[in-house]
Amino acid sequence: MTDALLRDWRCDWRIWAVAAGGICGLLPLLPLRQNLLLLACLLGVTVVWWLLREPLRWVHAFLLMALTLPPLPIELGNSGPHVCLVAALVGLLAGSTSRWQIASGPLTRPFLCLFFVLLASTCTASCISGLTVAAGSLVRVMLLGISIYLFFQVIGGGDRRHIRDIRFARLLFIAGMTSALFACVDFYFQFPAPAGFAPQFVWLSSGVFRRAQGVFYEASTLGNVCAFFLVMIMTALSRPKETCPVPRSLLLSGAPVFAVALILSYSRASVVNVAVAMAALLFLLRGRFRWTRIGPLVGGLVLAGTVVVTRFFPALSEAYWYRASSISSVFSSPEGTLSGRIGNWETLVTFLREHPGLALLGIGYKTIPYSDLLGGRVVSDNVYLGMLVEAGVLGLAAVLWLNVTILRSGYRAAKAANPSQAFFGTWIFCFWAGESVQMLSGDLLSYWRVLPLYFWVLGVSVRGFDEDTDSRPI
């Protein structure tokens, strides 16, 4: 009965209009404070009702809010809660009322295996580190679960017409460009952080500056997002003009913005991500690649980023290029090049040698910085090594299985006859190739706000397309 009632409310707007009119009729009879509270409740319920009217509308709302809105200024966790979690709750409600089921596919088992292995590791965390640390571990597993749930919703819902996915991809590009532009302005003026932020700074001769982070908790997340959209630009411009999913003028206007924001984030690993993605793109386009399509773009990105950063941030420009050139000395001076990560990795390896039994089950997902077993605050900054310590051999195997399956699925989609599926498949294959490499120097699975964005592209690329019903050029 409840399911039928929710479906009726979702489809018949007249019921809601009558209810809203009745509530508005009570406003003149109540004090001002109660009126504002009532209107806020009415607005909130209206938004929830609007999101429930279509199965994947909450997905679009979640991704747009995660890209463009900062965390709420509330002391909860490291950075405070985010409003996009409301859209995730609506998504759970939408799935429960529509009798949604997990769609089968090659990615289903790797995703479920990773989620349940991490969920089981919270039990180990409660035994080793206590209930408080285990509760934090459980929260982080659930945040990762949002990305997995969103992926299953994408491949199991929607009308499977690629034209709507392309339109939303354009909207995501605009939202991402707006977020990156704000990050550049934020770094220049050093606005006060709206909520908690990671203590990441750049020490220059002119002073100490917070690295560009935009609306995200840390600068590395911003760099990762910029790399994601730069790969999208390269993928789109490598395609014939008639099948380019985004107007070229929009792509060329967004490229310098993402390039500058990537530099201001001070993330070298994200630059490596883009380089690996470009190599993967060349691999996919071997035999039919023309440098005239993407060569000028690469040169233009380097030139635009160099000019803008040198013009507005001369001290940062000198420090950044010196830092970027230090990658060449990774073998002669690895500790300095990798910003102290080697010491943390040695601590984790030593811990595994001294406690080989814990390598089987792990100490609990996302408990390394909070566990007393390691003798101090240690950050893994490596998905593979961190997963081995936190979730054991099964956790590491699950991550490797998932990465291989994503690359295989993206490669298969990139070879599809449907131009839209080929675009999304190429995009996710190239980006995840870079992401798999960047996981060696960053805990990318903890980027729960932007990970759903990547899995949305993955879901669209592997979801079945009917080429006959919508085969128009993009």
Contact between residue 228 and residue 63 where contact means Cβ atoms under 8 Å apart = no
Helix axes 291-312, 219-237, angle to 10 degrees: 150
Angle subtended at Cα 95 by Cα 90 and Cα 98, rounded to the nearest 5 degrees: 120
- Percentage of the chain lying above the pLDDT 70 cut: 73
Checking if the pLDDT of 293 tops 90, the result is: no
Gap between the Cα atoms of 252 and 297, Å rounded = 8
Gap between the Cα atoms of 143 and 365, Å rounded = 12
Q: What is the largest CA-CA distance in the chain?
A: 76
Helix, strand, or coil (residue 68): helix
Gap between the Cα atoms of 435 and 58, Å rounded = 26
Per-residue pLDDT of 37-81, as tens digits, reads 666 666 666 667 667 777 788 899 999 999 999 988 877 767 778
Contact between residue 198 and residue 218 where contact means Cβ atoms under 8 Å apart = yes
Q: Residue 28: CA atoms inside 13 Å, Cβ hemisphere, count?
A: 3
225: tokens are 């997002």
Gap between the Cα atoms of 169 and 454, Å rounded = 11
| Sequence-ordered alpha helix ranges (H) in 238-287 | 248-264, 268-284
Gap between the Cα atoms of 284 and 463, Å rounded = 20
Per-residue pLDDT of 343-383, as tens digits, reads 888 888 888 888 888 888 899 999 888 877 776 677 888 99
pLDDT the model gives residue 270:
92
31: confidence class by pLDDT, cuts 50, 70, 90:
low
Residue 363, burial from CB neighbour count under 10 angstroms (0-12, 13-18, 19+): buried
Gap between the Cα atoms of 256 and 249, Å rounded = 12
13: tokens are 């707007």
- Detail the DSSP E strand segments found in 302-363: none
326: confidence class by pLDDT, cuts 50, 70, 90:
low
- Which of 7-11, 118-122, 322-326, 351-355 has the highest mean predicted lDDT (pLDDT)? 118-122
pLDDT the model gives residue 8:
46
pTM, entire model? 0.86
118: tokens are 């991490």
pLDDT the model gives residue 241:
75
Under 8 Å CB-to-CB from 353, ≥6 apart: which residues?
none
Per-residue pLDDT of 228-287, as tens digits, reads 999 999 999 888 777 788 888 888 889 889 988 998 888 888 989 999 999 999 899 876
Checking if the pLDDT of 332 tops 50, the result is: no
- Mean pLDDT for the stretch of residues 172-178: 96
Per-residue pLDDT of 132-157, as tens digits, reads 889 999 999 999 999 999 999 998 86
Amino acid at 283: F
pLDDT the model gives residue 285:
84
What is the distance of C-alpha 192 from the center of its chain? 24
